[in-house]
Structures are given as structure tokens and as C-alpha cells.
Amino acid sequence: MALDSEQLADIEAIRTQSAPTRRATVPALEDMLYTALPVLDHGFVRVIDYMGDDGAVVQAARVSYGRGTRKVSEDAGLIRYLMRHRHSTPFEMCEIKYHVKLPIFVARQWIRHRTANVNEISARYSILDREFYLPAPENLAAQSSINRQGRGEVIEGDEAQRVLDLLRDDSMRTYANYVDLLNENPDGTPADPSRPGLARELARMNLTLNTYTQWYWKTDLHNLLHFLSLRADSHAQYEIRVYAEAMLKTVEAWVPACYAAFRDFRLGAVTFSAPMLAILRRMLAGETVTQPDSGLSKREWAEFQAVIAATDVSPLG
């Protein structure tokens, strides 16, 4: 995580400031405010601002004037009911804003979630830093033979080193060419006065997708939880999953009751289709069910078996 001394000083100066407010504040998240949580080799996630708390979700659900006199356990029970029955609007009343530093290829995957306000650093106006994501050896894997979107066995030995060398050399070479095309010193003067520099908006196209970018990403709690349910899942690509896992820590600090309900009813839960539920009833009645007589496709059957095996329900055909 490349934060220089000046940036760290700026962050610390902001963290020392405080102001009286009538707004709901959460001490656990206040302690994390502006602090960069390291992700990957040069990336980070940090909370810049937030609005609302667990009480705001409850208040919105009840459409009450104040926080009420109900017990915390009653509020948690209502939040669990809302989460269990997928009532989304009360969760939309809370918002959070992140500053994220991430590789461009992760950003292009992330931006598919079109439910946030995003402002990304523009390489039309700024010169991007010479920082690239290079996978750790344990995350360097071959293409899966059964999943077009997944990884297979980890690449090791000389082949792993060859791949890493290629990734590093390509990144360094294209960035050097980027700087050469810009022909620009840090103070904006030409590096070589005898030739013009290419426009920044054109020079940027030569950069590799593992180059780091940054953005501010603001969303409401409902859409944040939807994002996390997909990206914190074990099937998500590693490079975006680790960002989701860092963000989960901020959600737990911010809205602990909502986080607990989300963990139980979304992260730790599974959904059965109507045919799967019918098969499960047959199995619980003692019938042996196989894929040919299940009515499920081979892929659906494999997914169903994986869930059932994990919960130790038998018999399996």
C-alpha cells in the first residue's frame, strides 16, 4: 500500500478533527474513519463518510419520529425479519462512501454494479502512478477446465516464475512507454523540449489493466449488501473478493445488527429452487434420488449435491 508521508500526515490531520453533531454516529466506525485497510499489494479501502446506523434502519421500517424505547434485542429482531423477508427500502436509508485503490481490471468488474455513485481518477487530467498488481505465487493459477470464469491448479516452479516475469516486464515496459509518450516532467515541463508530448487522454491507452486506479464509491446499505453477497462469495474472483472482505469489516463496525442478519440469511445461507426443494422432501422421506430421475440438469444436480453433502443430509443417489 503506497501512501507517502505527506498523504499519511493529511489523513492523520483529518482524523484528529471532530465536530458536534445531532446525527447518529457509530464509535466503532468512527475509529476506522479515513484509515486505509490494505488490500492486494498496493490497494486499499477506506471509509470517507457514512450516514445512519442500525437504528436508522429500524426507524425507517417503523416510520417513527424518534429512536423509540424498544430494547436492542427487539430492534435486532426486526432487522432480522427485514433481512429474512428481503424488505430492502429500510436498508436504503443508510449510506456509506469509500475511497478505493484497485487494479483497473478489478475496477471494470466492480463497475458492473450500477447502483452506486462513482468518481474515478481521470488519466485525461492526471498521470497515473507506476504501480501494478502482481499476483502472489499462491494466486497464480491456470484456467479451470470446467469453469470458464474460474481458476484451476496453481502454477508452480519455473513456469510460475516465467509468468510473473512476463507480467512484471510488460507492466514496466508499457509504463516506461507511457511516460515517454507524455514527455512530461513532474512540474509539467517537457522532458525533451525538442518534441511534443502526446495528450494524456491518448497516452493512457498504452497502460496494462493491472495498473492501479482510484475512485470514490458511495452507495446505500441495501445495494452494498447485494454487492458483498456476490463479491464476498467463495466463487468470486480472488482479486475482488479481498476488497469485499475488507469492506465487510467496515459493515460489521458500522451496523452490527444488520451485519449479523446479513451473515446469517445471505452469506451463510443457500437458496433452493422449487424442483430442488421437492427433491429434498423426497430424500427426507427416505427415497434415494439420482440425477436422471431428479429432473435437474447435471450442473444443477452437482450444485444441489454440494450443498446437501455440506449439510450431511442423506441418502444421496
Q: Are the beta carbons of 98 and 29 closer than 8 angstroms?
A: no
Which residue in this structure is represented by grid cell 450442473?
299
Residues 6+ apart with CB under 8 A from 301: 291, 294
Cβ atoms of residues 216 and 119 within 8 Å:
yes
Alpha carbon distance 257, 271 (integer Å)? 22
How far is Cα 302 from Cα 296, in angstroms, rounded to an integer? 9
- Region label for 52, one of left (φ > 0), alpha (ψ between -120 and 50) or beta (otherwise): left
Other residues' Cβ atoms within 10 Å of the Cβ of residue 17: 7
Question: How many angstroms separate the Cα of 130 from the Cα of each of 137, 165, 205, 242?
Answer: 21, 17, 15, 22
**Residue 192, SS3 per DSSP:** coil
Q: Which residues are identified as catalytic?
A: 231
Long-range contacts at 62-67 (CB < 8 A, ≥ 24 apart): none
Tally the C-alpha atoms within 13 A of residue 254's C-alpha that lie toward its C-beta.
Answer: 27
